[in-house]
C-alpha cells in the first residue's frame, strides 16, 4: 500500500492515498527511501516528518508505510556503540557511506552477523511471564545482558539452547496457554514513544554518587531522580554532563548529544574508551550507549533522539540495572518540536513553541524513576534523568527552562559570572536546589553519621551569610566588618575555593569519594571552629588567616584518594597547633 | 529535456510562486529568464501539488510576470570547485568577478554539504599559534575549531581577524595552508582592508575570496557563506590543505535569513528571527573540523557584530551555543587604547585543553592560564571596589591584584596588531606578571612548577 507526495516543505512532507496507514507509523519516502513518521492525518492525506534531508524530493514521489510505529531494537550490541537519533549505528554508516551522512542509508541497529554466547537461566518446562530472564549474554566485560521474555508473552519454556547465536536466531521457544508457540530471539522491538511497563514505582531513596563535591554533598540527586542543568553558553554544562557520565555510580549510562556540537561527541567517543571506571578499572565505554544527533544532522531525528535514548535506558532498567540518562541539550529538542510545529502551521504558544511543550517535557522526565521490574524475581532498577537546558541569553524565564523546573527535583544552576572567574563547576550554590535532601538524609546518616548533613547545613549557612556580608563590603569596605564576620568571609572563601571548586581535568581532583568529600568539608569547618574559639581568646585575626596550614588546606582536594584521611589528619593537627601559637603570641603582645 | 514555464503567478520579493509545474523538487535550483534575456537564479522553497514557491537570489526588479520564463534545473545550487580557485575573487553566488576566466571545474559540489558523521570526525588537538597572547595563552585556538569573534560596531575586529590570518601557524609544520574569505554584506572598504592585508603578506595567492558587499542583493547572502565553506571543504578534504575560513559579518547573514522568513510568513521566534535559526547556523558552523584519515582541516573564524554589544541577542547567543568558544572584544578596553581589545574573562576556547600542555605547547600552560584568569578576575573586582570606596579600603593583597589587572591589560593583552609573539614568549610573560602576586595566592599551580619556572627564571636572571 503506498501513497503519493503532494507537498514538500523542508522536513515536512504531505502525502495522499495513505488511508491504510496509522498515526505514528514509520514510512519510507521517495526513491531514496527516506525515513519518516506520520504526525497527523486528514482524510487519506498524512503529514509526515522526515528524518533526513528532503532536498530533491517532489510531488509524485511514492510513500510506503511500514505499518509500525517508530521503534528501537533492543538486545546485545547496544553498549559501546554510537547511534544517531533514530538508532542507526554511526560507525557502520561511516563504513558504508564515508565521512558524511548520506541519505537513505539503511543499517540495522543491532549487528545481524555478530554472534553472542547465550547462557540459559530458565530451563525447559519452566513457567515464565513477561520480564523473566531467559538467559544471559556477557555483552561487555562489565555488563551482563539479561535476555528477558518480551512483553505480552508468557507460558512454558518448550526449548532453550545454550550456544552462540546472532540476535535474530531463536534461542528459546515458549508455548502459551492457548498452545501457540513463540520463537524468541535475543532481540526485541519497542516503540519509542511508549514507556516500557513495570510492576510498581517507588520513591527514590539512594543517592547517585557522582564524585562531584557540589553535587554529592550540597545538591545530591537520588537514583531514579530527575535533574536539570540550565546555563548560558560557556558556563560548563557539557563538562558537568561529561563528569556525570564518567563518574556516576550507575551500571549503564545513556548519553544523548541532542543538537549539540559534533566535536563534543567525538571527544566522548575518543575519551571514554580511554577512561577507566573508578569502581572496577574497566573502560567507561563498556557501560555507555551514545546517541549523537549533532546540530547539523536532520532536525526531525533530533526530536526522536530523546525518545530513543530513554527507551534504551528503560530496557536496561528492566534488567534490574541502575541507569543514568544524560540529555544535552533538551532545549535543542524543544526547538526541533517548535520547528516541526511551525511547519505544521499549528497555533504557537509562548515564543513560538507549541502549546504541548510542557506536557512533552513532563512526559520525558516522568519516565525516570525506581521501579520493580516485570518478571517473577522482584528485581529493582532505576532510570535517573538529567537534562541540560540552554536558555537563550542565560535567561531562565523562557518556556523550556520554566517547564523543566516545574517537573525536575534537582536544579543545578550554572552561572556565567562564576565561569568567568574560572570557578568550575560553575554551579551557583545560592540558586541551586535539591528536593531529595530529606529523602536522602537517612542514607547519609547511616553511612557517615549525622555529621555529614550537619556539616552541609553549616557550610550552606556560611555561604549564605557571605553573600549578605558581600553587600555590606561593597558599601562600606571590608574593614567595617567585625572579626567574626571577617572569619565567616574567610571560611566561605575557603569553602568556595578549596571545596566547591573541582578541576574536571585534574587526575587527582576529577573524582572525589564520599569519604573524601566528608573529611575535606570537615577539615575546612574545623578551621572555622578553631578560629572562632581563638578569636574569643583574643587571637590576632590577620595572623590566623595567614597560617601556613591554610596553604595545605588549599591543596587538600588533590590529595591521594588512598591516603587522604591521614593527610587531612596531619593538616588538622598542624592547623590546630599554628592557631594555638597565634593565640599565645597575641597574648604576649 | 528542461521545461520552461511562463506561469509565474505572483512575485513578492524575494518570493515567487510558479503555477502548473510538474516534476519540481524541494531545494532545486532554477533560472528566471527576463524578456531581455537576462538570467537570474532562484531556488525552490516549497512545492505543493503543481505550485512551487521559489526564492529569488537577486532583486525582483524588472520582472514581468507574463513574459518571464522559469526553468528548473533538477539539482540544488552547486559550486564548481578546483585548486585554481586560490587567488581568485568570486561574487556571493560563486561567479568570478576579478576579470579572470571561468573555473575549470574539478567537481561540482552541492553548497549545502552533508552533515559530518560524528564517528568520522577527528578531534581537533593541534595548537595553532596566532601570535596573539590573549588567544594563544588564554583562549587557545586549535585546528578544526570554530571560534567566532564577537564584536560591535566601531570595534577593530577586522584588524584582529587579519592579524590572525597573517600570523597563524602550526608549530614546526610546513603544510599547505589556504584562507577562504567570505565577505557577507560588509562595505567595500572593510572588504578592501582584508584583501589588502592578504596582498601585503603575499597570502593572496593562497586565498579564495567570496564577496557579497553591502550593495549586493541581500538574499544572496544566504548562499555566500555556504559557497565559501564548500570551497573550503574541497581544499581541506580533497586537497589536504589546512584551511582557515573567515566569514564576516554573520549578523548580515542572519538578517537576510530573517528577511526571507518574514516573506514566507513564518511564525517568528525571538526578535523576528526564524525559529530554525539555530539549526540553520549549525549547518554552517559544524562544517568546520577534521576528519579521520584526512590531512586537511577547516578552522573557522566567523565574525559577528553584536547589536548594542548585547551578548544575549539571538545571533551571538545561538552562535555561542554552537561554536567552540568565542573571542569577545570590549568597548571599554578599546577606549583605554588596548590593542587588540580582547575581553579575556568572557572569552573562551572550549578546545584549549586538547591543544595545550606538554608536547603541544608547554606543561605550565594550563595551570598558568587558570591562575591568570582567576587573578585577573579578582583584580578587576578589586578595582571595582576601589572606584567605589577608594584605594584605602582594599586589603594589601587586593591592592596587588588591582595592580596585576592593570599590568595584565597593558602588557599581556595590549600587544598591538603588528607584534607576533611565540607561545613561549606569551607563557614567560604570564610568569612575569604572576610574580606581582603573593606566592600563597598561586593556588592553581603546583609548587614544583612554580619552583621550576618562577624560581628557575629568577635563578637564570641572577646568573
Do the chains contact at B114 and A342, CB–CB below 8 Å?
no
Helix or strand holding residue A202 (H, E): strand A200-202
For A102, how many CA atoms within 13 A lie in the half-sphere containing its CB? Answer: 12
What's the pLDDT tens digit per position in A555-586? 899 888 889 999 999 999 999 999 999 999 98
B297 conformational bin, left if phi > 0, alpha if psi -120 to 50, beta if neither:
beta
Sequence-distant (6+) residues with CB within 8 A of A101 are A84, A93, A297, B114, B115, B116, B117
- For residue B252, give the C-alpha cell: 548580515
Q: Are A430 and A467 in contact (CB under 8 A)?
A: yes
Residue B319 has pLDDT above 90, yes or no: yes
Residue B334 has pLDDT above 60, yes or no: yes
Q: A82: which chain B residues are within 8 Å (Cβ-Cβ)?
A: 118-119
Residue A224 is predicted with a pLDDT of: 96
Sequence-distant (6+) residues with CB within 8 A of A542 are none
Low-confidence ranges of chain A (pLDDT < 50): none
Beta bridge partners of A326: A255, A386
B177 alpha carbon, distance to own chain's centre: 17
Which of A392, A420, A478 lies closest to B314 in CB terms? Answer: A392
Do the chains contact at A295 and B24, CB–CB below 8 Å?
no
Residue B461 has pLDDT above 70, yes or no: no
Q: Are B133 and B361 in contact (CB under 8 A)?
A: no
Q: What percent of chain B is predicted at pLDDT more than 70?
A: 98
Do the chains contact at A295 and B279, CB–CB below 8 Å?
yes
Angstroms from B345 CA to nearest CA on chain A: 5
Nearest CA in chain A to B440: A551
Residue B12, classified by CB atoms within 10 Å of its CB into exposed (0-12), middle (13-18) or buried (19+), is exposed
A421 in contact with B at a CB cutoff of 8 Å? yes
**A437: number of Cβ within 10 Å:** 17
Beta bridge partners of B52: B18, B47
B116 conformational bin, left if phi > 0, alpha if psi -120 to 50, beta if neither:
beta
Nearest CA in chain B to A417: B346
SS3 of A140-179: the string is CCCCEEEEECCCCCCEEEEEECCEEECCCCCCEEEECCCC
What's the pLDDT tens digit per position in B417-429? 999 999 999 999 9
Nearest CA in chain B to A53: B114
Flag whether the ipTM exceeds 0.95: no
N-term to C-term CA, chain B: 84
Residue B462 has pLDDT above 60, yes or no: no
Do the chains contact at B48 and A59, CB–CB below 8 Å?
yes
Q: B318: which chain A residues are within 8 Å (Cβ-Cβ)?
A: 392
Which residue in B15, B26, B44 has the most chain A C-beta atoms within 10 A of its own C-beta, making it the best mutation to test that interface?
B26
Q: A266: which chain B residues are within 8 Å (Cβ-Cβ)?
A: 118-119, 121-123
Predicted TM-score (pTM) of the model is 0.90
Q: In angstroms, rounded to a whole number, what is the distance separating the alpha carbons of residues A566 and A124?
A: 57
Residue B54: pLDDT band (50, 70, 90) is very high
A483 in contact with B at a CB cutoff of 8 Å? no
Do the chains contact at B47 and A59, CB–CB below 8 Å?
yes
CA neighbor of A381 nearest in space, from A325, A444, A437: A325
Residues 521-560 of A with CB under 8 A from B: 546, 550-551, 554-555
Q: Are B29 and B41 in contact (CB under 8 A)?
A: yes
B116 in contact with A at a CB cutoff of 8 Å? yes
Q: A497: which chain B residues are within 8 Å (Cβ-Cβ)?
A: 443
Helix or strand holding residue B181 (H, E): strand B177-186
What are the phi and psi torsion angles at A417 (to 5°)?
-70, -30
Residues 144-203 of A with CB under 8 A from B: none
B272 in contact with A at a CB cutoff of 8 Å? no
Residues 418-457 of B with CB under 8 A from A: 440, 443
Do the chains contact at A352 and B47, CB–CB below 8 Å?
no
Q: In angstroms, rounded to a whole number, what is the distance separating the alpha carbons of residues A252 and A145?
A: 11
What would the DSSP string read from start to end of A210-233? -S-HIIIIIS--BTT-EEEEE--T
Which of B268, B289, B313 lies closest to A262 in CB terms? Answer: B289
Q: B443: which chain A residues are within 8 Å (Cβ-Cβ)?
A: 497, 551, 554-555
Residue B457: pLDDT band (50, 70, 90) is low
Do the chains contact at A60 and B276, CB–CB below 8 Å?
no
CA neighbor of B305 nearest in space, from B172, B440, B152, B140: B152
Q: B267: which chain A residues are within 8 Å (Cβ-Cβ)?
A: 342, 348, 352
Q: In angstroms, rounded to a whole number, what is the distance separating the alpha carbons of residues A153 and A156?
A: 10
Residues 260-319 of A with CB under 8 A from B: 261-263, 265-267, 269-270, 292, 294-299
- Nearest 5°: CA angle at A306, between A303 and A308? 105
N-term to C-term CA, chain A: 98
User: What average pLDDT does this structure show over B135-151?
Assistant: 94
Residue B297 is predicted with a pLDDT of: 93
B325 in contact with A at a CB cutoff of 8 Å? yes
Angstroms from A301 CA to nearest CA on chain B: 12
Q: In angstroms, rounded to a whole number, what is the distance separating the alpha carbons of residues B150 and B145?
A: 16
Q: In angstroms, rounded to a whole number, what is the distance separating the alpha carbons of residues A490 and A501?
A: 15
Do the chains contact at A94 and B120, CB–CB below 8 Å?
yes
B274 conformational bin, left if phi > 0, alpha if psi -120 to 50, beta if neither:
beta
- Nearest 5°: CA angle at B341, between B340 and B344? 110
Do the chains contact at B27 and A55, CB–CB below 8 Å?
yes
A31 in contact with B at a CB cutoff of 8 Å? no
Nearest CA in chain B to A473: B385
**B418: number of Cβ within 10 Å:** 10
Nearest CA in chain B to A551: B440
Residue A349 is predicted with a pLDDT of: 85
Q: How many residue pairs bridge chain A and chain B with CB atoms within 8 Å of each other?
A: 214
Nearest CA in chain B to A336: B276
A496 in contact with B at a CB cutoff of 8 Å? no
Which of B119, B279, B373 lies closest to A82 in CB terms? Answer: B119
Q: In angstroms, rounded to a whole number, what is the distance separating the alpha carbons of residues B276 and B292?
A: 30
How far from B40 is each of B11, B43, B209, CA to CA, in Å? Answer: 14, 11, 22
Do the chains contact at A100 and B374, CB–CB below 8 Å?
no
Do the chains contact at B124 and A263, CB–CB below 8 Å?
yes
Which of A101, A270, A338 lies closest to B275 in CB terms? Answer: A338
How far from A357 is each of A191, A299, A302, A541, B461, CA to CA, in Å? Answer: 21, 16, 15, 55, 65
Q: A300: which chain B residues are within 8 Å (Cβ-Cβ)?
A: none
CA neighbor of A189 nearest in space, from A163, A168, A162: A168
CA neighbor of B191 nearest in space, from B212, B216, B208, B163: B212
Helix or strand holding residue B402 (H, E): helix B396-407
Q: Are A253 and A245 in contact (CB under 8 A)?
A: yes
How far from B288 is each of A101, A261, A356, B182, B291, CA to CA, in Å? Answer: 15, 11, 35, 14, 10
Greatest alpha-carbon span in chain A: 99
Where are the strands (E) in B193-259, listed by range? 207-213, 242-248
pLDDT: is B268 or A82 the higher one?
A82
Q: A7: which chain B residues are within 8 Å (Cβ-Cβ)?
A: 46-49
Q: B110: which chain A residues are within 8 Å (Cβ-Cβ)?
A: 55
Q: Are B11 and B64 in contact (CB under 8 A)?
A: no
Residue B458: pLDDT band (50, 70, 90) is low
Q: In angstroms, rounded to a whole number, what is the distance separating the alpha carbons of residues A324 and B22?
A: 51
Residue A383, classified by CB atoms within 10 Å of its CB into exposed (0-12), middle (13-18) or buried (19+), is buried
Residues 169-198 of B with CB under 8 A from A: none
Q: A267: which chain B residues are within 8 Å (Cβ-Cβ)?
A: 123, 354
Q: Are A558 and A509 in contact (CB under 8 A)?
A: yes
Residue B62 has pLDDT above 90, yes or no: no
How far from A75 is each of A72, A111, A139, A145, A315, CA to CA, in Å? Answer: 10, 10, 10, 8, 9
Residue B268: pLDDT band (50, 70, 90) is confident
Q: What is the DSSP letter of A209?
A: P
Q: Are A511 and A278 in contact (CB under 8 A)?
A: yes
Do the chains contact at B270 and A100, CB–CB below 8 Å?
no
How far from A18 is each of A1, A46, A49, B132, CA to CA, in Å? Answer: 8, 6, 14, 61
Amino acid at each position: 500500500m503506498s501513497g503519493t507526495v503532494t507537498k514538500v516543505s523542508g522536513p515536512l512532507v504531505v502525502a495522499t492515498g495513505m488511508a491504510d496507514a496509522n498515526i505514528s507509523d514509520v514510512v519510507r519516502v521517495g526513491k531514496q527511501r527516506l525515513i519518516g513518521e506520520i504526525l497527523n492525518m486528514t482524510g487519506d492525506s498524512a503529514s509526515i516528518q522526515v528524518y533526513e534531508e528532503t532536498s530533491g524530493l517532489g510531488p509524485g514521489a511514492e510513500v510506503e508505510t511500514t505499518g509500525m510505529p517508530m521503534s528501537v531494537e533492543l538486545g546485545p550490541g547496544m553498549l559501546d556503540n554510537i547511534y544517531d537519533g533514530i538508532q542507526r549505528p554511526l560507525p557502520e554508516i561511516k563504513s558504508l557511506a564515508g565521512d558524511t551522512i548520506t541519505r537513505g542509508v539503511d543499517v540495522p541497529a543491532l549487528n545481524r552477523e555478530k554472534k553472542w554466547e547465550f547462557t540459559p537461566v530458565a530451563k525447559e518446562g519452566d513457567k515464565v511471564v513477561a520480564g523473566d530472564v531467559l538467559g544471559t549474554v556477557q555483552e561487555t566485560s562489565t555488563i551482563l545482558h539479561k535476555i528477558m521474555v518480551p512483553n505480552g508473552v508468557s507460558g512454558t519454556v518448550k526449548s532453550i539452547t545454550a550456544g552462540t547465536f546472532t540476535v535474530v536466531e531463536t534461542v528459546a521457544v515458549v508455548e502459551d496457554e492457548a498452545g501457540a508457540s513463540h520463537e524468541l530471539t535475543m532481540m526485541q522491538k519497542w516503540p519509542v514513544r511508549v514507556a516500557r511497563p513495570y510492576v510498581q514505582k517507588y520513591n527514590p531513596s539512594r543517592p547517585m554518587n557522582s564524585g562531584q563535591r557540589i553535587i554529592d554533598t550540597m545538591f545530591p540527586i537520588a537514583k531514579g531522580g530527575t535533574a536539570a542543568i540550565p546555563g548560558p553558553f560557556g558556563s560548563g554544562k557539557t563538562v558537568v554532563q561529561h563528569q556525570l557520565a564518567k563518574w556516576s555510580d550507575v551500571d549503564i549510562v545513556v548519553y544523548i548529544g541532542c543538537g549539540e556540537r559534533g566535536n563534543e561527541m567525538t571527544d566522548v567517543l575518543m575519551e571514554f574508551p580511554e577512561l577507566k571506571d573508578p569502581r572496577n578499572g574497566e573502560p567507561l565505554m563498556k557501560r555507555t550507549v551514545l546517541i549523537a544527533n549533532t546540530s547539523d544532522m536532520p532536525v526531525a531525528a533530533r526530536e526522536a533522539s530523546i525518545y530513543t535514548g530513554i527507551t534504551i535506558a528503560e530496557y536496561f532498567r528492566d534488567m534490574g540495572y541502575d541507569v543514568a540518562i544524560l540529555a544535552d541539550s533538551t532545549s535543542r529538542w524543544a526547538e526541533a518540536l517548535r520547528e516541526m510545529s511551525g511547519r505544521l502551521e499549528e497555533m504557537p504558544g509562548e515564543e513560538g513553541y507549541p502549546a504541548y511543550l510542557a506536557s512533552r517535557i513532563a512526559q520525558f522526565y516522568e519516565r525516570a524513576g525506581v521501579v520493580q521490574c516485570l518478571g517473577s524475581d522482584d528485581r529493582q532498577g532505576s532510570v535517573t534523568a538529567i537534562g541540560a537546558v540552554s536558555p537563550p541569553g542565560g535567561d531562565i524565564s523562557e518556556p523550556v527552562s520554566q517547564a523543566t523546573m516545574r517537573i525536575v527535583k534537582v536544579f543545578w544552576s550554572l552561572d556565567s559570572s562564576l565561569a568567568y572567574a574560572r570557578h568550575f563547576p560553575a554551579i551557583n550554590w545560592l540558586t541551586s536546589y535539591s528536593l531529595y535532601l530529606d529523602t536522602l538524609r537517612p542514607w547519609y546518616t547511616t553511612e557517615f553519621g549525622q555529621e555529614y548533613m550537619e556539616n552541609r547545613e553549616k557550610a550552606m549557612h556560611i555561604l549564605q551569610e557571605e553573600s549578605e556580608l558581600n553587600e555590606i563590603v561593597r558599601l562600606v569596605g571590608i574593614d567595617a566588618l567585625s572579626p567574626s564576620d571577617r572569619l565567616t568571609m574567610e571560611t566561605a572563601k575557603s569553602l568556595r575555593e578549596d571545596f566547591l571548586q573541582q578541576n574536571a581535568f585534574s587526575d587527582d581532583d576529577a573524582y572525589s569519594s564520599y569519604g573524601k568529600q566528608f573529611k575535606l568539608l570537615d577539615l575546612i569547618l574545623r578551621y572555622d571552629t578553631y578560629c572562632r574559639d581563638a578569636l574569643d581568646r583574643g587571637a590576632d585575626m590577620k595572623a590566623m588567616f595567614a597560617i601556613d596550614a591554610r596553604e595545605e588546606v588549599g591543596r587538600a582536594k588533590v590529595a591521594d584518594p588512598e591516603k587522604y584521611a591521614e593527610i587531612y589528619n596531619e593538616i588538622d593537627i598542624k592547623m590546630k597547633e599554628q592557631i594555638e601559637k597565634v593565640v599565645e603570641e597575641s597574648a604576649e603582645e | 529535456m528542461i521545461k520552461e514555464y511562463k506561469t509565474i503567478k505572483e512575485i513578492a520579493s524575494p518570493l515567487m510562486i510558479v503555477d502548473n509545474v510538474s516534476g519540481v523538487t524541494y531545494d532545486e535550483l532554477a533560472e528566471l529568464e527576463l524578456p531581455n534575456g537576462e538570467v537570474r537564479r532562484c531556488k525552490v522553497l516549497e512545492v505543493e501539488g503543481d505550485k512551487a514557491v521559489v526564492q529569488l537570489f537577486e532583486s525582483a526588479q524588472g520582472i514581468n510576470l507574463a513574459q518571464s520564463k522559469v526553468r528548473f534545473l533538477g539539482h540544488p545550487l552547486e559550486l564548481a570547485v578546483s585548486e585554481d580557485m586560490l587567488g581568485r575573487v568570486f561574487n556571493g553566488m560563486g561567479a568570478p568577478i576579478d576579470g579572470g576566466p571561468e573555473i575549470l571545474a574539478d567537481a561540482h559540489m552541492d553548497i549545502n554539504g552533508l552533515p559530518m558523521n560524528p564517528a568520522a570526525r577527528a578531534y581537533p588537538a593541534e595548537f595553532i599559534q596566532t601570535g596573539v597572547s590573549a588567544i594563544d595563552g588564554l583562549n587557545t585556538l586549535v585546528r578544526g575549531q570554530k571560534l567566532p569573534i564577537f564584536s560591535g560596531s566601531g570595534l577593530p575586529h577586522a584588524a584582529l581577524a587579519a592579524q590572525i590570518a597573517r600570523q597563524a601557524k602550526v608549530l614546526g609544520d610546513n603544510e599547505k595552508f589556504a584562507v577562504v574569505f567570505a565577505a557577507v554584506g560588509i562595505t567595500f572598504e572593510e572588504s578592501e582592508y582584508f584583501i589588502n592585508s592578504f596582498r601585503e603578506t603575499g597570502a593572496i595567492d593562497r586565498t579564495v575570496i567570496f564577496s557579497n558587499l553591502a550593495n549586493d542583493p541581500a538574499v544572496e547572502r544566504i548562499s555566500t557563506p555556504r559557497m565559501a565553506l564548500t570551497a573550503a571543504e574541497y581544499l581541506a578534504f580533497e586537497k589536504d590543505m589546512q584551511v582557515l575560513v573567515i566569514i564576516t559579518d554573520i549578523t548580515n547573514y542572519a538578517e537576510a535569513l530573517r528577511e526571507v522568513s518574514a516573506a514566507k510568513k513564518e511564525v517568528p521566534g525571538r526578535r523576528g528571527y526564524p525559529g530554525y535559526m539555530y539549526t540553520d547556523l549549525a549547518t554552517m558552523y559544524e562544517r568546520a573540523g577534521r576528519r579521520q584519515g584526512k590531512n586537511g582541516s577547516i578552522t573557522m573564524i566567523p565574525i559577528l557584530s553584536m547589536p548594542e554589544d548585547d551578548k544575549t541577542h539571538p545571533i551571538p547567543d545561538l552562535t555561542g551555543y554552537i561554536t567552540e568558544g568565542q573571542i569577545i572584544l570590549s568597548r571599554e578596553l578599546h577606549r583605554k587604547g588596548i590593542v587588540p581589545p580582547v575581553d579575556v574573562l568572557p572569552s573562551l576556547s572550549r578546545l584549549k585543553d586538547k591543544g595545550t600542555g606538554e608536547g603541544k605547547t608547554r606543561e605550565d600552560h594550563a595551570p598558568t592560564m587558570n591562575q591568570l584568569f582567576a587573578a585577573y578576575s579578582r583584580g578587576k573586582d578589586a578595582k571595582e571596589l576601589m572606584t567605589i570606596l577608594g584605594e584605602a579600603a582594599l586589603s594589601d593583597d587586593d591592592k596587588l591584584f588591582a595592580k596585576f589587572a592593570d599590568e595584565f591589560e597593558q602588557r599581556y593583552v595590549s600587544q598591538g596588531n603588528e607584534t607576533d609573539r611565540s607561545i613561549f614568549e606569551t607563557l614567560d610573560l604570564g610568569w612575569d606578571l604572576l610574580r606581582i602576586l603573593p606566592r600563597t595566592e598561586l593556588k592553581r599551580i603546583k609548587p614544583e612548577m612554580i619552583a621550576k619556572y618562577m624560581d628557575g627564571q629568577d635563578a637564570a636572571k641572577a646568573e
